[in-house]
Amino acid sequence: MQKHEKHTRDPRFHIVKRAGMSRGKALLIRFLAILAALLLCSVLSTLLIGANPLKFISTLFSGSLGSSRRIWKFAKDSAVLLCISLAVTPAFRMRFWNLGGEGQVLVGALASIACAYYLRDSIPNPLLLLIMLVAAVLAGAFWGLFPAICKAKWGTNESLFTLMMNYVATYLVAFALMEWTKADGSSTLGEVAFGHLPRLYNEYLLLILVVLALTVLVYIYLNYTKQGYEISVVGESEKTARYIGINVGRVITRTVLVSGAICGLAGFLIVAALDHSITTATVGGLGFTAIMVSWLAKFNPLIMVGTSALIIFLQQGGAEMSTIFNVSSAFPNIVVGIILFFIIGCEFFIHYQIKSRVSHKKGGVGK
């Protein structure tokens, strides 16, 4: 009975859901979160690698924007990440947790490079590029098809399924590399001299323009087409979708196919515009980063332009830090991880409100 005493005081605060928050205020909270995260990162970088906070911030900027070459690289990397983010978005809108972007991009890239590798100059380059594109898109879609069908039919856990498909794709690439380099046994494929996309000013601009156009297309697809509308309905409430007669299984399958196809396209772009080769690390975790880019943008393609740029900005800045201070190239991942924690955490303050009992008394009586 002694415990009673302890409990006869009011709890200081409790948590309630917000009815809604103005966009400006929400943006401010996110901005503050990023600021706080950067502060923590700069403190950490002082502790871990002995760089003072100012140096950290200035390196971040110079890493991405320090020279025209860096700006181009920044724009190119952002575009690639944006492209993959766009790809995973339709499925996420439907609450289909496609963690397989990585593998879908990789098989797209593999299909593209395989076309270039085998067809070489037997056909004209534009035709080759077209075949590479189609092969990549089909391969990406095909990689998403299995998990989608199983999800639609039996409700198979899609996140783990797609995750495993990533590794299957990785080993498939490893297999292809071994087959192709049997002669020297090096397992590394040099630059394939065929199926290069034409240069437009430099090798990056065409890619960037294509991705920007794709952004607009995906935005229109999701917001203004019947299929996009169906995706939203299925994502928000499967029960409602059934009630109005949407064939939920079909929408799931179709949408994941679209997602996979765009992933394949991303793979094609990586191969035909940038790498002209393939390794098991061609996608290098971008498939996972894209999930977070998409989620941070609340699955809105236009906002993703900003979020993907933010992530790349941090990664390049971090990479610059690791070069200057001669530390592990994994340093940028730490920075990105911390920023993500803060942004993820700050959502709470946008959706919920901490109310103290005292202040509520004042507000409550008037009503």
Partner 1 sequence: MNGWINYLFNAIALGMTFLYGSVGEILTEKAGHLNLGIPGIMCMGGAGGCIALQLMYRSGIPPMLIVIISILAAFLSGVLMGAIYSFLTVTLHANQNVTGLAMTTFGVGMMKFIISKIRPLQYMYALDYFRFPFSDRTDSLKYWGVMVYLAVVVAIVASLVLSRTRVGLHLRAVGENPATADAVGINVTAYKYGATCIGSGIAALGGLFYIMDYSGSPEAYLNIEPFGWLAIALVIFALWRPYLSFFGSMIFGALFVAGSFIPGLLGLTLPMSATPLLEMLPYVVTILVLIITSIRKKRENQPPASLGQSYFREER
Partner 2 sequence: MNKTVALEMKQVSKYFGSLAANRKVDLTVYRGEILAILGENGCGKTTLMNMIAGIYFPDEGQILVDGQEVVIRSPKDAFRHKIGMIHQHFKLVDLFSAAENIVLGINDGERYNLKEVNARVQEIAERYGFHIDPKKKIHEMSVSEKQTVEIIKVLYRGADILILDEPTAVLTPQETEKLFAILKRMRDDGKSILIITHKLHEVLSLSNRVAVLRKGEHIATVETASTNPAELTEMMVGQKVSLNINRPEPENTQDRLLVSDLSLVNADGIKVLDDICFTARSGEILGIAGIAGSGQRELLETIAGLQHPAGGRILYHNPKTDKEEDLRDKTPMQIRELGVRLSFVPEDRLGMGLVANMDIVDNMMLRSYKRGHSLFVDRKKPKDLADRIIRELQISTPGTATPVRRLSGGNVQKVLVGREIAAAPTVLMAAYPVRGLDVNSSYTIYNLLTAQKQQGVAVIFVGEDLDVLVELCDRIMVIANGRVSGIVDGRTATKEEIGVLMTQTRAEIESQKEKEGSDRAEA
Which is nearest to 103 in space by CA: 172, 40, 183? 172
Single-letter amino acid code for the residue at 66: G
Q: Which does 275 bind (CB under 5 to 8 A by kind): partner 2, partner 1, none?
A: none
Compute the distance between CA of residue 36 and CA of residue 33 in angstroms, rounded to an integer.
5
Q: Which does 12 bind (CB under 5 to 8 A by kind): partner 1, partner 2, none?
A: none
Which is nearest to 315 in space by CA: 291, 286, 336? 336
Instruction: Point out which span in 138-146, 211-219, 223-231, 309-317 binds partner 2 (CB under 8 A).
Output: 223-231
Q: Which does 145 bind (CB under 5 to 8 A by kind): partner 1, partner 2, none?
A: none
Q: Given the complex with partner 2, which of 29 and 246 has the nearer CB atom?
A: 246
Instruction: Point out which span in 87-95, 242-250, 259-267, 335-343 binds partner 2 (CB under 8 A).
Output: 242-250
Compute the distance between CA of residue 141 and CA of residue 256 in angstroms, rounded to an integer.
7
Binding residue (CB under 8 A) for partner 1 from 167, 220, 229, 237: 167
Compute the distance between CA of residue 224 and CA of residue 330 in angstroms, rounded to an integer.
41
Buried b (16+ CB within 10 A) or exposed e, 198-220: eeeeebbbbbbebbeebbeebbe
Q: Which two tokens stand for residue 228?
A: 């996009």
Site for partner 1 in 310-339 (CB under 8 A): 327-334, 336-338
Structure letter (DSSP) for residue 280:
T
Residue 118 within binding range of partner 1, rule CB under 8 A: no
Instruction: Point out which span in 136-144, 153-161, 213-221, 247-255 binds partner 1 (CB under 8 A).
Output: 153-161
Residue 244 within binding range of partner 2, rule CB under 8 A: yes
In whole angstroms, the minimum distance from the beta carbon of 266 to partner 1 comes to 18
∠ CA 293-159-218, nearest 5°, is 40
- Report how far apart, in Å, the C-alpha atoms of 31 and of each of 27, 34, 250, 332 are: 6, 5, 39, 20
Q: Given the complex with partner 1, which of 156 and 300 has the nearer CB atom?
A: 156
Residue 237 within binding range of partner 1, rule CB under 8 A: no
| Residues 5-44: x where in contact with partner 2 by CB under 8 A, - otherwise, as a string | --xxxxx--x----xx------------------------
Residue 13 forms beta bridges with which residues?
356
Compute the distance between CA of residue 125 and CA of residue 330 in angstroms, rounded to an integer.
38
Site for partner 1 in 85-104 (CB under 8 A): 97, 99
Q: Given the complex with partner 1, which of 131 and 172 has the nearer CB atom?
A: 172
DSSP letter string over 33-58? HHHHHHHHHHHHHHHHH---HHHHHH
Site for partner 2 in 303-362 (CB under 8 A): 357, 360-361
Which is nearest to 222 in space by CA: 286, 301, 287? 301
Q: Given the complex with partner 1, which of 57 and 168 has the nearer CB atom?
A: 168
Residue 229 within binding range of partner 2, rule CB under 8 A: yes
Q: Which residues are at the interface with partner 1 (CB under 8 A)? A: 14-17, 48, 97, 99, 146, 150, 154-157, 159-161, 163-165, 167-168, 171-172, 174-175, 178-179, 182, 185, 285, 288-289, 291-292, 295, 327-334, 336-338, 340-341, 344-345, 347-348, 351-352
